[in-house]
Structures are given as structure tokens and as C-alpha cells.
Amino acid sequence: MPEPLLQISELNVAFDTARGEVRPVRDVSLSIYPGQTVAVVGESGCGKSVTAMSILRLIPSPPSKVLSGSIRFQGRDLLSLSEKEMQSVRGKEIAMIFQEPMTSLNPVYSIGDQIAEAVVLHQNVGSREAMRIAEQSLRDVGIADPHRRMREYPHEMSGGMRQRIMIAMALSCKPKLLIADEPTTALDVTIQAQILELLRKIQRQTGMAIMLITHDLGVVAENADVVNVMYASRIVESATVEDLFDRPKHPYTQGLFRSIPKLGTTAKRLDTITGTVPNPAKFPAGCKFHPRCDKMNGDPICATVEPLLREIAPGHWASCHHVENFANSPVTLPQLQHKREDMVPLATEVKA
């Protein structure tokens, strides 16, 4: 069995806050294989972005600290690298794009300068060659007239264009892993479709792995190979995308599926999950989902013992006392090499 490109094992992250310690990431384990798209899905505050930022060690310490766990990337533990070694990983081996393309670009430098800066930093090339690479990467992400765009500034561009530029910058050093944190959340649906199509195309061409952080189950369904559902700082379910959407096991995942309105359905009332996402500063005891859970039925174990992620069926992990066979299932680290079949080209692109 080949090695995963990235393997996070039992990662625990804590923040020191004025109101005491909070734990945004608890016992998170996941692996990403080359060429895979692995989604981490959950609602705000569930810990998905902190997990992603921890990989690149982008969260200042203090206030954050890694309590335990390891993040192995191509055989090296990123958590034990020096800051200097880490700089050669960031941007070059692992690149990241963010939700808000406006605040992630520097407003006072031209687009060309910003991309070329990353290229000069990570590749042993002169500034002229760096500019050429920058222009090519703009062309690769479908920007018309890249030569002119190189001299423009972020404020001269629309949101979709800026996100393309972020992607161009991230891809200019040919990373092996792209972490995309809500890459299309701020964009309109037609622009979202363009950007996701672009990421799929680049992945097919380069074999890059993608860690896709999102709250949108539609985006997950169309793009991910493997899905991890996070709730209250933990992964509560992990499976292949087909398995998860066909047979969701955790009551939270099931509730999420029921509560989203789908196009073309007529039901007037939606099913809901009662209550709200718990505040990390005061998590309930036991299973963190039990106050909102419809499967609990007053079972005292849910309110006292927090279930660990167990492999309840081959290749399907969940953490719920009320999933069939839960008590007899082994506690293993989620590892799924699954890659969905190349989808028939979804798009009939209309150029404009």
C-alpha cells in the first residue's frame, strides 16, 4: 500500500484564551493520497480551518499550541521542522488558498510582482524567468490577456478573477498538495462552477492532491473522493464520497443531509437539527452532539462517554454509540485511498 502524501494522526490543538483553554482540534486523524481530493466539511467553529492552518503552522503560538499528534508529509513530521525548513514547505510543497481573495492579496503590489515573488522565493530562477512563469500560471488558470493583467492591481479585478489569481499564485510552484479553505464561498454560483471546474482540470493535469475545506455539501458531492465530517473539533464521520452520501451513519451527518433544501423537491417544511453548534469554551459532556441528537433516546452513555471514531464497516468510520456494531468495531486511523472515477466532463463551457 503506498504511503499517504499527508497523514495527520491524533492531532490536538489548544488555544489559550482569556476565558481559559479551548480545544478547536481534538484527536483529528486523516490522510490524503497523491491525486486525491479530501473534503473536510462542517459548520462554522467546528475546527476545520484550524486543522488546515495547523498543517502549514500558520496559527501563531502562543496563543495556540499543539498538545499532541503528528502531521507527516512525505515522511517528515511537519511539527518538528524548524521555522526555516517550514518556509521551504509552505508555498512550494503545500500551497493554500483562502475564502476571501481580497484580503489575501496585497493591494499595493501588482499581480505579476506578487506571483513572481513566490516563484523567486521557492525556485532557483531570476526575476525575468519568474515573470515568465507568473504569466504562464495566469494563462493556466484561464485569465484572458495575462500580459496586461500582470501589471494590474487586485482592486481592478472582480472576486472570481481574484480567486483565479490566488490559484495561479498557489500553483506557480507546482505544489503536491493544495489546501483550499472555502475557495468558492464568497463567489456567485456561476463563478463557483468556473473555479471548481478549473481546480478539477488542474488536478487531472498535475496529479496534485487537494484538501477541500467547505460547509457546502453540494461542493463536496461533486468534488471530493473522501469526506471527513467535523463537529465540535472532532471528525465524527469519514468515508468515501459515495458511501457517505448513500449511507450516512452519524446522526449529525444524517441531520445535515435532511436539512438542506434541494432543487426540484417540493416539501414545504424542512427537517431541522434542533439547537445550535456548541461553543468550544463550554462543550457538553459525553458525545458533543447529544443535546441535539434524535437517536439518543435518553441513553445515559451519550451524555457521559464521548465516542471515539471507529471503523464501523470496512472503509467507513463514525463516532456514535448508536451506530450498529459500534462497540465491537475497531478504533483505527481513517485511511482511504479511494479515487472516484474520472467524471464525464460535466461542463459545456461557454466562452465569453
- Kindly list the residues in this chain that would bind other proteins in the complex (CB under 8 A): 43-44, 144-145, 158-161, 188-194, 196-197, 215-222, 241-242, 245, 255-257, 259-274, 276-277, 340, 346-352
Task: Tell me the closest approach of the beta carbon of residue 213 to other proteins, in angstroms.
Answer: 14
Contact 140, 203 (CB under 8 A): no
The residue (of 43 and 299) whose beta carbon lies closer to other proteins is: 43
Contact 119, 80 (CB under 8 A): no
Which grid coordinates are listed for 12? 490536538
Q: How many other C-beta atoms lie within 10 A of the C-beta of residue 335?
A: 18
The residue (of 1 and 189) whose beta carbon lies closer to other proteins is: 189
Residue 192 makes CB contacts below 8 A (sequence gap 6+) with 184, 219
Task: Tell me the closest approach of the beta carbon of residue 84 to other proteins, in angstroms.
Answer: 39
Report residue 96: phi and psi, to 5°. -135, 140
The residue (of 86 and 277) whose beta carbon lies closer to other proteins is: 277
The residue (of 64 and 253) whose beta carbon lies closer to other proteins is: 253
Q: How many other C-beta atoms lie within 10 A of the C-beta of residue 55?
A: 22
The residue (of 9 and 291) whose beta carbon lies closer to other proteins is: 291
Task: Tell me the closest approach of the beta carbon of residue 192 to other proteins, in angstroms.
Answer: 7
Task: Tell me the closest approach of the beta carbon of residue 74 to other proteins, in angstroms.
Answer: 29
b/e per residue, 243-282, with b = 16+ CB within 10 A?
A: bbbeebbbbbbbbbeeeeeeeeeeeeeeeebeeebbebee
Task: Tell me the closest approach of the beta carbon of residue 272 to other proteins, in angstroms.
Answer: 5
Q: Which helix (H) or strand (E) holds 73?
A: strand 64-73
The residue (of 58 and 193) whose beta carbon lies closer to other proteins is: 193
Task: Tell me the closest approach of the beta carbon of residue 339 to other proteins, in angstroms.
Answer: 13
The residue (of 43 and 129) whose beta carbon lies closer to other proteins is: 43
Distance of alpha carbon 294 from alpha carbon 289, whole angstroms: 10
The residue (of 109 and 153) whose beta carbon lies closer to other proteins is: 153
Task: Tell me the closest approach of the beta carbon of residue 85 to other proteins, in angstroms.
Answer: 38
Q: What residue spans of 12-110 are helical by DSSP H?
A: 48-55, 83-89, 101-104
Q: Which helix (H) or strand (E) holds 257?
A: helix 251-259
In terms of Cβ atoms closer than 10 Å to its own Cβ (0-12, 13-18, 19+), residue 205 is: exposed
The residue (of 11 and 39) whose beta carbon lies closer to other proteins is: 39
Of 236, 118, 231, 247, the closest CA to residue 174 belongs to 118
Task: Tell me the closest approach of the beta carbon of residue 193 to other proteins, in angstroms.
Answer: 4
Task: Tell me the closest approach of the beta carbon of residue 329 to other proteins, in angstroms.
Answer: 24
Which grid coordinates are listed for 23? 480545544
Of 30, 65, 62, the closest CA to residue 48 belongs to 30
